Structure 1
């Protein structure tokens, strides 16, 4: 997996190096490497970054033909592991080379690298290409709710013309020259102080005047949280990280859409709870009845929920049509938003959470 491609004229062509940071991923890293082996445009080198592993991650990675490097004294989680490797790797790479950063618990579709490489080659203003992540099978009802959520996010990105809100940490292809510019500007590629390094590096790249995109063909399949507790911790980190990054960057041309999005989410929390309180009030006072306007609006809302997951099949449509189940899920996510905002306001210490895979 460490060959160099050449053009017909004999010159070195663009090389793709894959970096997979892994902490005790013996159950998942094999599948990630297998998905790389199936690429229509294979990577030129695959490096598994073993970060404080105490299981068989290293031996499994080597058995699959990947190069393995082990971190030394890293206390900065994924960002620190990537920075240690990029520090020695980038000087040996050409400015037109590419680096795919991929999670050990995720897999990519066979056309991912080909599409991502072509996308970068077609527009020099694109700084990085991220994947569109979908949830893996399993996890019962909670897993199905997460898969529906991811499917709607996929539609949202498509409506934005593939413009990425966040370069997902599950799989993103970076230009080496962009990574070098980040390194020169701040002494590290990934900001180790950021709780969500993928969100932060998206803002950093966009602040350089470059675009970040997620083509619909670049599909990544990743784990779903197996329990409500795990989901709460995961989303708390995501949401809090996003808020902290906005506070760090301040209000700029780049961050303005993200600030508007957060404000919209906050308004959604207010509107949802206002509706619930009003509904309880009219039921308690005996005023509840069927009103044509509200009934029509309700049916339109249900229809929208069903249509946005239609391509996922019958089970997803039925879950969306029931409505109340996904409504509870939405209230849960709104609870995460409120808790995140409170933690940021009070500057409470943050924690990193790592879980295993969900079961069927």
Structure 2
């Protein structure tokens, strides 16, 4: 079973090399790594090309559009996604792989880096509690920083909706309607603390929107 890893990137020269290095350290190497350059004006594209990783150009702004471009360019049976400012641990894909035979989509824990050690630990703990709550509500929260899914099924569903900051959660919900979705505890991804640069209150409000089942005010068409 072939696995493609897709990363959208816009002006990510600070983080993209660290992300790609983490992917190249995987104990189960991906069959394909795709970076979607979403109209960067810095050195992002040049840094990616220097690594020999496949670069897809997507000048239309928006992370949802960029993720869709990566999905359509991927050739693997499965697509695993992360973000340019994230660093999957070395055993990430190896932890996900055994579940690909019985599930249609997978997701795992996140821990922020770039914070004091005790805060980093709390972010993983807090996010784990949030994920457990979502599971109990029957709405697993599949975040694109740590998510994998069967590529053909996602394409048949139309892929990512053009809804910023909610496209991953909505695709995850659509995939759940098609088959089994599993949480993989050992598939840890480290992600940068810039997610809380606007303050913890703003960050938690976004999580509450996800918890409500209507992230970013989006409603599925009937």
TM-score, normalising length from structure 2? 0.84
* Residue 90 of structure 2 is aligned to residue 110 of structure 1: yes
Q: 1:227 to 1:67 in 2, by over 3 A?
A: closer
Over residues 116-158 of structure 1, what are the superposed CA-to-partner deviations in whole Å (9 max), with x where a residue is unaligned? Answer: 111112x1xx2111121012142x5xx8446414314336757
Work out which of the residue numbers 35, 46, 54 in structure 2 matches 1:59: 46
**SS in structure 2 opposite 1:21?**
strand
Work out which of the residue numbers 128, 131, 135 in structure 2 matches 1:154: 128
Q: 1:59 to 1:206 in 2, by over 3 A?
A: same
* Residue 204 of structure 2 is aligned to residue 217 of structure 1: no
Q: CA RMSD in A?
A: 2.9
The answer for the alignment partner of 2:63 in structure 1 is: 78
Work out which of the residue numbers 181, 198, 201 in structure 1 matches 2:168: 198
Residues 116, 129 of structure 1: 8 Å contact kept: yes
TM-score, normalising length from structure 1? 0.54
Displacement of 1:207 after TM fit? 2.1
Alignment partners' CA distance in 2, 1:212 and 1:32: 25
* Residue 157 of structure 2 is aligned to residue 182 of structure 1: yes
Over residues 255-313 of structure 1, what are the superposed CA-to-partner deviations in whole Å (9 max), with x where a residue is unaligned? Answer: xxxxxxxxxxxxxxxxxxxxxxxxxxxxxxxxxxxxxxxxxxxxxxxxxxxxxxxxxxx
Over residues 294-336 of structure 1, what are the superposed CA-to-partner deviations in whole Å (9 max), with x where a residue is unaligned? Answer: xxxxxxxxxxxxxxxxxxxxxxxxxxxxxxxxxxxxxxxxxxx
Q: 1:23 to 1:233 in 2, by over 3 A?
A: farther
The answer for the alignment partner of 1:4 in structure 2 is: none
Which structure is larger by alpha-carbon Rg, 1 or 2?
A: 1
**SS in structure 1 opposite 2:144?**
coil
The answer for the alignment partner of 1:169 in structure 2 is: 144
The answer for the alignment partner of 1:101 in structure 2 is: 81
Alignment partners' CA distance in 1, 2:132 and 2:163: 31
Alignment partners' CA distance in 2, 1:110 and 1:176: 23
Q: 1:60 to 1:194 in 2, by over 3 A?
A: closer
Alignment partners' CA distance in 1, 2:39 and 2:125: 34
Displacement of 1:15 after TM fit? 1.4
Displacement of 1:110 after TM fit? 1.3
1:30-49 to structure 2, matched below 5 A, reads: 30-49=17-36
Aligned residues: 217
Displacement of 1:226 after TM fit? 7.6
If asked which structure has higher relative contact order (CA below 8 Å, sep 6+), I would say: 2
Residues 141, 210 of structure 2: 8 Å contact kept: no
Alignment partners' CA distance in 2, 1:242 and 1:107: 25
Residues 163, 218 of structure 2: 8 Å contact kept: no
